[in-house]
């Protein structure tokens, strides 16, 4: 973590403080994905498989929203607060990510 020392311009990733929570969530999603594969392999009923796929999709979406919220509150806010071009660039980049998220 070489970012802690660079307060004037530097910043941490927005999600760093919640890293353990995010990793736990991703581990759970990995388990869901493996469970879906197992259901398919065992010829489980299609609708039950679909229900699990929806649950995994929602869980991924929740991770996206959490990452994005932290990104806005840290990376973007820091760039905006320090002024200049970088703030505008970070805002544009975040808006593009939001659009991808809404459309996915």
Interface with a copy of itself by CB under 8 A: which residues?
1, 12-16, 19, 22-23, 26-27, 29-30, 33-34, 36-37, 40-41, 43-47, 49-51, 53-58, 60-61, 63-65, 67-73, 75-77, 80-81, 83, 87-88, 91-95, 97-104
Contact 46, 30 (CB under 8 A): no
1/5 with CB nearer a copy of itself: 1
Instruction: Output the smallest distance, CB 3 to a copy of itself, in A.
Output: 8
Q: How far apart are CA 26 and CA 37, in angstroms?
A: 17
Which of 75, 68, 53 lies closest to 100 in space, CA to CA?
A: 68
Alpha-carbon torsion, ordered 69, 76, 80, 83, to 10 deg:
170
Instruction: Output the smallest distance, CB 82 to a copy of itself, in A.
Output: 9
Instruction: Output the smallest distance, CB 41 to a copy of itself, in A.
Output: 6
**Residue with structure tokens 């970070």?**
90
């Amino acid at each position: 973590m070489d970012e802690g020392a660079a307060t004037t311009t530097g910043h941490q990733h927005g999600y760093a403080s919640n890293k353990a929570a995010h990793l736990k969530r991703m581990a759970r999603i990995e388990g869901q994905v493996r469970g879906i594969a197992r259901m398919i392999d065992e010829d489980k009923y299609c609708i039950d498989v679909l229900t699990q796929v929806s649950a995994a999709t929602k869980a991924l979406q929740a991770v996206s929203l959490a990452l994005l919220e932290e990104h806005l509150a840290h990376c973007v806010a820091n760039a905006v607060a320090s002024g200049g071009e970088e703030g505008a660039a970070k805002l544009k980049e975040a808006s593009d990510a939001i659009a991808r998220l809404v459309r996915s």
